[in-house]
C-alpha cells in the first residue's frame, strides 16, 4: 500500500494513474489546488489536510503503508515572495507533521517532490546535484529546508528518502483524460495553449533581454509521464533497499527558450500566437537545464519524451479538458 499525499494535483494524479497498476494507493489531498476528478477511480481517496494530523493518523494504523509520496505543496514563486508565511507553514510546517507520523508508525520510505528552484540562479550551463543550492525565493527555500530536515531525520530516525528535483514539468497523460489545471495558471506551455485555443487574449513574454541566443529564458521541459516513470523507478529502488537517501535531478538535459516553446506550439497547433513583449518576471533565472546523469547511471532512468510530445499531449488535454 502506498500513500500519495497531493495525489489530486497535476503530477500526483499522473503518478497515481500508473502506480495503481502495480500497487494499492491511498490519496490524501485537501483539494486546495488539486481536483477530485483527477484521482484514479481505483485509488482510496481521503480528503484531509497535512497540517491536521488527526485527519489522517488513522491511515497508518488501518493500512500497511510501505512508502509515502509527498507532492502536496504551494509552488508559485511570485506568491511565495508576497506571502512567505503560507509557504513556510504549508510546505515546511505541514511536512513536519507528516514526518512525525511516519516516525510514530515506523514508516521508512518517502519520495519527496523538490524543485530546480533549490539551485537559485546557478552559474553553469548544465546543473547536476553537486551544484550549490542557493535558492532565491521562499518557495525554493521552503523546499530546501525540507530536504535538509529529511537529511537530519534520516541520520537519527529510520527514514529512507529519495528527493526528486523537478525541472519544468509539462505535458499530459497520453489518454487526454488527465492533465495540468492550475488556477491561476502561470506556466508557459498551458498559457500559450490556452491562448491558441481561444480562451486567453495573448501571450506575454517576460523579458527578451536575457543573455541567451534569442534573449528569452531557457528551461528544461520534462514530460509528466517521464516524471512518473522516475518516481516509480525510485520507489522500486527504495523498497528493494538499492538506494538510500539520494537526491536526483529530473530533466531532459536540453533547454528551450520561451520563443522556441511558442514556435513549437504554433507548429503543432497550426495557429499563430499573438505575442506581447513584457518586462522580466522577478526571480526568473536566465537558464535552467538539468543534468540527470546521476539517476541515469544509478537507476537507469532517462527522459524519453521531447518538447513536441510534451506539447502534443498538452494540446490534446487543452482540447479535452474536464476540470
x-marked contacts with ligand UFG along 285-314 as a string, rule CB under 6 A = ---x--------------------------
Least distance to ligand UFG from the beta carbon of 77, Å? 5
Please say which residue, 25 or 193, places its beta carbon nearer to ligand UFG: 193
Least distance to ligand UFG from the beta carbon of 99, Å? 22
Q: Report the site for ligand UFG in 196-225 (rule: CB under 6 A).
A: 203-206, 217, 219
Cβ(283)–Cβ(248) under 8 Å?
no
x-marked contacts with ligand UFG along 111-150 as a string, rule CB under 6 A = ----xxx---------------------x-----------
DSSP symbol at 274: P
Kindly name the residue from 10, 139, 221, 256 that is annotated as catalytic. Answer: 139
Least distance to ligand UFG from the beta carbon of 301, Å? 20
Q: Is 247 helix (H, G, I), strand (E, B) or coil?
A: strand
Q: Report the site for ligand UFG in 245-274 (rule: CB under 6 A).
A: 258
139 counts as catalytic: yes
DSSP string across 102-117: HHHTT--EEEEEEEGG
The helix or strand, by DSSP H or E, that contains position 218, with its residue range, turns out to be strand 218-219
* Total interface residues for ligand UFG by CB under 6 A: 21
Which residue is associated with the grid cell 522577478? 282
Cell of 155: 541520520
Considering only the stretches 49-57, 263-271, 281-289, 312-320, report the one whose residues sit in contact with ligand UFG under the rule CB under 6 A. Answer: 281-289
C-alpha 246: how far from chain center? 17
Cβ(243)–Cβ(299) under 8 Å?
yes
DSSP string across 60-107: HHHS---EEEE------HHHHHH-HHHHIIIIIIHHHHHHHHHHHTT-
Q: Does 188 bind ligand UFG (CB under 6 A)?
A: yes
Exactly one of 284, 292, 303, 305 binds ligand UFG (CB under 6 A); that residue is 284
CB-neighbour burial class of residue 197 (10 A; exposed 0-12, middle 13-18, buried 19+): middle
Considering only the stretches 15-23, 65-73, 187-195, 310-318, report the one whose residues sit in contact with ligand UFG under the rule CB under 6 A. Answer: 187-195
Q: For residues 178 and 45, give the distance between their C-alpha atoms in angstroms, rounded to a whole number.
A: 17
Please say which residue, 267 or 282, places its beta carbon nearer to ligand UFG: 282
Q: Is 290 helix (H, G, I), strand (E, B) or coil?
A: strand
Q: Which residues are catalytic?
A: 139
Residues that bind ligand UFG (CB under 6 A): 75, 77, 115-117, 139, 168, 186-188, 191, 203-206, 217, 219, 258, 281, 284, 288
Amino acid at each position: 500500500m502506498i500513500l500519495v499525499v497531493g495525489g489530486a494535483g497535476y503530477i500526483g494524479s499522473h503518478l497515481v494513474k500508473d502506480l495503481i497498476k502495480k500497487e494499492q494507493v491511498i490519496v490524501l489531498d485537501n483539494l486546495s489546488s488539486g481536483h477530485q476528478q483527477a484521482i484514479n477511480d481505483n485509488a482510496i481517496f481521503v480528503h484531509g489536510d497535512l497540517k491536521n494530523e488527526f485527519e489522517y493518523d488513522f491511515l497508518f494504523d488501518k493500512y500497511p503503508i510501505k512508502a509515502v509520496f509527498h507532492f502536496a505543496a504551494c509552488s508559485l514563486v511570485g506568491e511565495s515572495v508576497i506571502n512567505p508565511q503560507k509557504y513556510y507553514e504549508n510546505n515546511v510546517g505541514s511536512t513536519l507533521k507528516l514526518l512525525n507520523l511516519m516516525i510514530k508508525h515506523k514508516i521508512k520510505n518517502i519520495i519527496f517532490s523538490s524543485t530546480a528552484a533549490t539551485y537559485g540562479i546557478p552559474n553553469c550551463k548544465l546543473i547536476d546535484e553537486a551544484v550549490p543550492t542557493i535558492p532565491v525565493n521562499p518557495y525554493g527555500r521552503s523546499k530546501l529546508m525540507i530536504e535538509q530536515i529529511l537529511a537530519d531525520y534520516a541520520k537519527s530516525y529510520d527514514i529512507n528518502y529519495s528527493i526528486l528535483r523537478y525541472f519544468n514539468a509539462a505535458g499530459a497523460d497520453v489518454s487526454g483524460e488527465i492533465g495540468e489545471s492550475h488556477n491561476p495558471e502561470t506556466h508557459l506551455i498551458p498559457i500559450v495553449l490556452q491562448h491558441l485555443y481561444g480562451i486567453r487574449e495573448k501571450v506575454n513574454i517576460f523579458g527578451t533581454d536575457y543573455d541567451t541566443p534569442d534573449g528569452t529564458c531557457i528551461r528544461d521541459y520534462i514530460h509528466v509521464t517521464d516524471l512518473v516513470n522516475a518516481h516509480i523507478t525510485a520507489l522500486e529502488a527504495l523498497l528493494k533497499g538499492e538506494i538510500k537517501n539520494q537526491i536526483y535531478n529530473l530533466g531532459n538535459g536540453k533547454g528551450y527558450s520561451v520563443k522556441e516553446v511558442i514556435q513549437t506550439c504554433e507548429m503543432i497547433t497550426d495557429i499563430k500566437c499573438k505575442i506581447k513583449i513584457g518586462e522580466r518576471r522577478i526571480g526568473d533565472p536566465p537558464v535552467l537545464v538539468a543534468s540527470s546523469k546521476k539517476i541515469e547511471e544509478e537507476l537507469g532512468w532517462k527522459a524519453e519524451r521531447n518538447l513536441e510530445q510534451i506539447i502534443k499531449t498538452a494540446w490534446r488535454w487543452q482540447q479535452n479538458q474536464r476540470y
